A and B are shown apart, each in its own frame.
Chain A
Amino acid sequence: MVFIQLYFWIAPHLLLAFCLIKMLRMGVHKQFPVFISYICFQEFHFAVLLILNLLILRSHSSVLTYRWTLVVGIVISGLLQLASLYEISAVLVMNHSPVARALWPLLRWAAALFVLVAATFSGIISQPGIQRVTDAFEVLNFSAGVINIGVLFVLLAFTKVFHLPWRSLAAGLVLGFGVNSSVEMAATVLMSTIGSRGYVAMDLVRMVGFHVCVLVWMIYTFRPERSAQTIGQGLHKVDLESWNEELQRLVE
């Protein structure tokens, strides 16, 4: 059991490091700088927690310090995750100004709405019998999951309505976030129901969720980017110009 726990704690971060190197080589940091910052922070946070864990084993640090470091890290990574989703949205609508004008207020409202939803349901997740720091950890995990899923859902629905194309990497990043956030949310709810005796099992579920998320990012990073295939003749240049002239005259 200890081996499995160690594997699911360490392996995703090692894979994420490989993923980060590949992404930097591909120049992903130019397109998604906030997402790269998120990965860098994840790796830094993991390194700090690993060191703290070793220090605890040698009695040089306390469990409380470890837990507060964990909580502060969750706040920062939650914010970076949300910022990454905004960044992905910006890249998707970059070339389409009317869509961008409609998307930004919608995303802002969705974020505000899901902050309210998270705040409402956090009372259920909160457990009076456990330590304040653990309680804060559970509430923050749950809130971050709810807000991310809400924003993700609005973004996906919006792009579906407007037929916005997804580059494969952006789709992969979103899918990874979706898996991670929904597993976090489910694990926190289960944890609040089972209580502290389910902590180890739920922690393992969370780590498995993050592992799957990293694997998804790896697959989308390492496989070659495929452009959309087309069949048939489509539009001729003459069609395009004449149709567009008419549409331009009418929508302005």
Chain B
Amino acid sequence: MTVVAWILLSASIVALLAILWMLRGRSSAAVDLDHLRSQLRPMDVEAFRNLMDCRERDYLRDRLPVPDFRRIHRERMLAAADYVWCAATNAGILIRLGEAARNASDPSSVESASALQENAFRLRLQALQALPRLYLSMVVPDWDLIPDGLAERCDRLTRQATILGCLQVTSKSA
């Protein structure tokens, strides 16, 4: 039996196991809404804004030796990526909370839940699109083609994250 045949055979078995794993409990698992709410993570939006500030990056580049700047920039982008992950996770939780609220008997609640879910989808999509750019910027700090789009995207993310931070506070005080 050739190596390629072994690879293809293993791939088909792995594919089947992966499909089973991904479908496991997807359609009937009970959702603990209180547990989900408690998983919403607050974000330090000011810190995130600072990390994404292009002027801050230029300032550091002008003042620091190249190796130091690269190291610090990498750490800053890693921290920013953590914030974006946080925003994506919060959006994911809102999607699931929205899904649960769509089963409500009140039609206006269902409508609000659908709209919330739709916006949470957009936020998660934007966050997941911004992440590879952040990681790329970590490897290539001088890449000037990325920051414009990235800054704009992350600015939107920052504002969205602000709201998610507020949501967390609201849910805690409720």
A, B co-complexed? yes
Partner of A124, one of B8, B35, B101, B104: B8
In the assembled complex, which residues on chain B have CB atoms less than 8 Å from the CB atom of A189? 5, 8-9, 12
When C-beta atoms are compared, the residue in chain A nearest to B99 turns out to be A165
When C-beta atoms are compared, the residue in chain A nearest to B34 turns out to be A232
Partner of A182, one of B5, B12, B119, B121: B12
Would A171 and B9 be within 8 Å (CB), given that A182-B16, A234-B101 are in contact?
Answer: no
Given contact pairs A156-B22, A237-B104, A247-B120, enumerate 11 new A-B contacts (beta carbons under 8 Å). A98-B122, A175-B20, A178-B20, A179-B16, A182-B16, A193-B1, A230-B32, A234-B100, A235-B98, A243-B163, A250-B160
30 contacts between A and B (CB under 8 A): A96-B117, A98-B125, A102-B125, A145-B12, A149-B15, A153-B19, A156-B19, A157-B22, A162-B124, A163-B92, A171-B27, A178-B23, A182-B16, A185-B8, A185-B11, A192-B5, A193-B5, A226-B27, A226-B28, A229-B28, A230-B103, A231-B31, A232-B35, A234-B34, A234-B37, A237-B108, A243-B167, A244-B116, A246-B163, A247-B116
Query: Which chain A residues have a beta carbon within 8 Å of chain B's beta carbons?
Result: 95-99, 102, 121, 124, 145, 149, 152-153, 156-157, 159-163, 165-168, 171, 174-175, 178-179, 181-183, 185-186, 189-190, 192-193, 226-237, 239-244, 246-248, 250-251
Query: Which chain B residues have a beta carbon within 8 Å of chain A's beta carbons?
Result: 1-2, 4-5, 8-9, 11-13, 15-16, 18-20, 22-23, 26-37, 92, 94-101, 103-104, 106, 108-109, 112-126, 128, 156, 159-160, 163, 166-167, 170-171, 174
